[in-house]
Amino acid sequence: MDYSSILSRYIGREVCISTFGHIKLRGEVAAIYEDCVRLINASTQGDAEDGAWNLDGDHHGQEALVHFHHIVAISCGDEDLLDIPVVADAGKPSWFSEPEEKEQVEAVLSEAAEPWRSYLAMDRLTLEVGQGLIGMISPESKDFYDRMTAVRCQLADSLGIVVPKIRMRDSRQLGDGEYRFLIDENEIARARFGPGKYIALDMGTATETLDGTPGVDPTFGGPGIWIRAEQQREAEKAGYLVIEPGMLLVTHLQETIRRYAHEMLTLDDVRRLIDLLRDDQAAEVEELRASPLSLSTIHAVLVRLLEEGVSIKNFPRVLETLVRHGARTGDIELLVAAVRVRLGRQICQRYLDRDGRVHAIGLEPELEERLLELSDAGLGRKARPWVERLMDNLNDSFQQLEEQQQPTALVTSIDLRSNLWRMISAQMPRVSVLSFAEVPRNTEIFWEMRVTPDDIGLPEGSSRSNSASNAQPYAKAAHMMEKLGEKMPRQPR
């Protein structure tokens, strides 16, 4: 029985818990742990007492821990939460009952709600904290809950998805200052607060060294110093950015959701997005009905966009593009490419400087051609060394450019874009790979650098001549866009 889910709805309210051994406890639900519930202002009642609560002087006003395996029934005021009914002789375990008693128990259980349903329920998004962080997520922490609400609103605005409600609970499996995030009850991120729980980050403006414990920023992985609350003013005067515990936890959650948003989007979420368009975009919804596109195909495209860090807030334009090309192809790669071209101006926005130029790193045409020639079987012993050198080269280049605080993208041909993103996403998850087709016609590309074959020691191969190599990627790209029914929006310089 999932008593944790049942009792979590009644934190701060008074409940009555019946246990084996003819004992009932009455008290206010204060906290829920993995295998027990904590009651405050608790009092006990024996089974012999005829319904009136007997406030035992030894127990009234005290705290009580009730283990879940001792619970027989739960009730809260007029609301009956009976999941395992009280049997005639609750002092005996079920396997000890006489045959007639077993028949009575089975009859009552059949009338009660089917208990296995609670085991099928799964929380989509969960925050678990150690014992030392319980106060941070308690109902009294109004500021923390307000921030959590703000995070859900900000993510809806930036990503275009509705973030599910976040279930928060404590866990004895975690250390006192430890916490973790789970999606569908699977861990996706874990971190620990250092001593003092306040972290000071040097953003390049620090003028002196702080007295604290060196650590790592849980959100972005940069170096920091854990300090105490009373050191905050001193650290800020010294030029540090100080983040207090609640903000640190909320920021980490926000960035984690942003990174794993594609894992939270469900078919039901997609259906709700479509339903929201019925009034304002009725024509598109009607076209969708006549289109061979399935809901799962639309879902797959949206998941891929979110996985690559592309907001789907402009869902009407996404759906419009899918309806237009869905009659010609059901290939997810082609549909994603078409949608990305349609959202090109939105995708490029974050990489623009004040002069309206897109900052980019590129690959020389010969290098692009060699990458295009690589099949799954081609990534063997001969190809792997120079591909690894290419990944290392790109990784070092992007790390150097981070100091300029100017977001930079990797721009390549439309044929190579998808495969190149797959190659670098594990090592460089924050790097976006754009195609030339996604850059608006009137937007200039500012090349931070171009990787050449000599930069990575590319061995000579049996590739075509340079002139053929220069033309071939764009011929393929044009053919791909022709297959989608659109012209190539942009050619590289």
Q: What is the pLDDT of residue 195?
A: 92
Least-confidence region, from 207-211, 252-256, 361-365, 400-404: 400-404
Strand order across the 178-183 sheet: 167-170, 125-129, 178-183, 186-192
Asked whether the predicted pLDDT for residue 1 surpasses 80, the reply is: no
Strand bridging mode 178-183 / 186-192: antiparallel
**Rounded to the nearest 5°, which phi and psi values hold at 83?**
-110, -35
Q: What is the pLDDT of residue 115?
A: 60
Asked whether the predicted pLDDT for residue 113 surpasses 60, the reply is: no
Question: How many Å apart are CA 139 and CA 130, to the nearest integer?
Answer: 16
Q: How many other β-carbons are positioned within 10 Å of the β-carbon of residue 55? A: 12
Q: What is the pLDDT of residue 79?
A: 46
Asked whether the predicted pLDDT for residue 90 surpasses 50, the reply is: no
Q: Please give the model's pTM, rounded to 2 decimal places.
A: 0.71
Residue at 445: amino acid letter: I
Question: How many Å apart are CA 294 and CA 438, to the nearest integer?
Answer: 26
Question: How many Å apart are CA 216 and CA 190, to the nearest integer?
Answer: 13
- CB proximity list for 107: less than 8 A, separation 6 or greater: none
- Specify whether the CB–CB gap between 340 and 481 falls below 8 A: no
Q: How far apart are the first and last CA of the chain?
A: 65
Tokens of 352: 């623009």
Which residue matches tokens 């300090």? 227
Q: What is the pLDDT of residue 73?
A: 80
- CB proximity list for 2: less than 8 A, separation 6 or greater: 118, 119, 121
Strand bridging mode 409-412 / 433-435: parallel
Tokens of 366: 């010969």
Strand partners, 450: 362
Question: How many Å apart are CA 150 and CA 6, to the nearest integer?
Answer: 27
Q: What one-character DSSP code corresponds to residue 477?
A: H
Residue at 478: amino acid letter: A
Question: How many Å apart are CA 224 and CA 193, to the nearest integer?
Answer: 12
Between these two residues, 35 and 136, which has the higher pLDDT value? Answer: 136
pLDDT, tens digit, 9 for 90 and up, residues 40-65: 888 876 544 444 333 343 444 577 88
Tokens of 153: 């609103």
pLDDT, tens digit, 9 for 90 and up, residues 236-270: 999 999 999 999 999 999 999 999 999 999 999 99
- The helix or strand, by DSSP H or E, that contains position 223, with its residue range, turns out to be strand 223-227
When the pLDDT of each residue in the chain is averaged and rounded to a whole number, the result is 80
Q: What is the pLDDT of residue 349?
A: 94
On the CB side of 50, CA atoms within 13 Å amount to: 0
**Rounded to the nearest 5°, which phi and psi values hold at 31?**
-160, 155
Tokens of 46: 């024996």
Which residue matches tokens 């906290």? 31
- Structural domains in the chain, sorted by start: 3-119 (2.30.30.100), 125-260 (3.40.30.60), 265-342 (1.10.8.540), 347-484 (3.40.50.12790)
Which stretches of 381-426 are DSSP H helices?
Answer: 384-402, 414-425
Residue at 37: amino acid letter: V
Q: Report the candidate in 97, 76, 89 with the shortest Cα–Cα distance to residue 17.
A: 76
Asked whether the predicted pLDDT for residue 226 surpasses 70, the reply is: yes
On the CB side of 421, CA atoms within 13 Å amount to: 22
Q: How many other β-carbons are positioned within 10 Å of the β-carbon of residue 475? A: 12
Tokens of 303: 């998941």
- The helix or strand, by DSSP H or E, that contains position 267, with its residue range, turns out to be helix 267-280
- CB proximity list for 147: less than 8 A, separation 6 or greater: 246, 247, 250
Asked whether the predicted pLDDT for residue 344 surpasses 90, the reply is: yes
Q: What is the pLDDT of residue 61?
A: 55
